[in-house]
Amino acid sequence: MQQIIYFFQKFKYFLFFLLLELIALTFTFNNLNFHKSKFVNSANNITGGLYTTLANSTEYLGLKTENEFLSIENTKLKNQLEKNKLFFSKDSMIVDSSKYHQKYTYTQAKIINNNYSKSFNFLTINKGKNQKIDKEMAVINSRGVIGITENTSNNYTRIQSILNKNSKINARLKNSNYFGTLGWDGSNYRTVQLSDIPRQAPLKIGDTIETDGKSTIFPEGIPIGTISKINHGNTADNKVDVQLFNDMSNLGYVYIIRNLDKEEIQSLENTSNE
Partner 1 sequence: MNKSINQIFFFLFLLFLQVLVLNNINFLGYINPYLYIAFVFLYPVKEERFTFLFVSFLLGLFVDFFSDSGGIHAFATLFIAYIRLFFIRVYFRKMPADYPFFTLKSESFGKVFNYVVTLTIIHHLIYFSFANFSFLNLSMVFFNTLYSSVFTLILFFIGTYIFTKDE
Instruction: Using CB under 8 A, list all residues that contact partner 1.
Output: 13-14, 16-17, 20-21, 23-32, 37, 40-42, 44, 46-47, 50-51, 54, 113, 115, 117-120, 122, 124, 158, 165, 186-187, 189, 249
Considering beta carbons, is residue 46 or 94 the nearer one to partner 1?
46
d(CA 154, CA 126): 10
Of 164 and 211, CB closest to partner 1: 164
Q: Would you say 124 or 246 has its CB closer to partner 1?
A: 124
| d(C-alpha 162, C-alpha 218), whole Å | 13
CA separation for the pair 212, 214 (Å, rounded): 6
Q: Least distance in Å: CB of 229 to partner 1?
A: 18
Query: What is the phi/psi pair of residue 151, to 5°?
Result: -115, 130
The answer to whether 114 and 243 are in contact (CB under 8 A) is no
In the complex, what is the shortest distance from the CB of residue 119 to partner 1, in angstroms, rounded to a whole number? 6
**How far apart are the C-alpha atoms of 156 and 150, rounded to whole Å?**
11
Q: How far is the CB of 31 from partner 1 (least distance, A)?
A: 3
Give one DSSP letter per residue of 114-169, joined into a string.
Answer: E--SSSEEEEEES--GGGT--SS-EEEETTEEEEEEEEE-SS-EEEEEEEETT--E
Instruction: Give min distance, CB of 10 to partner 1, in A.
Output: 14
CA distance 232 to 32: 32
Query: Which of 124/259 has CB closer to partner 1?
Result: 124
Nearer to partner 1, 47 or 142 (CB): 47
For the bound state, the minimum distance from the C-beta of residue 122 to partner 1, rounded and expressed in Å, comes to: 4
Question: Cβ of residue 142: shortest distance to partner 1, in angstroms?
Answer: 24
Name, in order, each residue with C-beta under 8 angstroms of 109's C-beta and a sequence gap of 6 or more. 125, 126, 127, 131, 133, 157, 253, 254, 255, 256
Reduce the DSSP state of residue 236 to 3 states and report it: coil
In the bound state with partner 1, the residue whose beta carbon lies nearer, of 189 and 255, is: 189
φ, ψ for residue 79, nearest 5 deg: -65, -40
Q: How far is the CB of 154 from partner 1 (least distance, A)?
A: 16
- Nearest Cα residue to 149 out of 172, 126, 165: 126
- For residue 125, the cross-strand partners are 111, 157
End-to-end CA distance of the chain: 55
Nearer to partner 1, 23 or 77 (CB): 23
* Minimum CB distance to partner 1, residue 61 (Å): 12
Residue 170 or 228: the one with the smaller Cβ distance to partner 1 is: 228
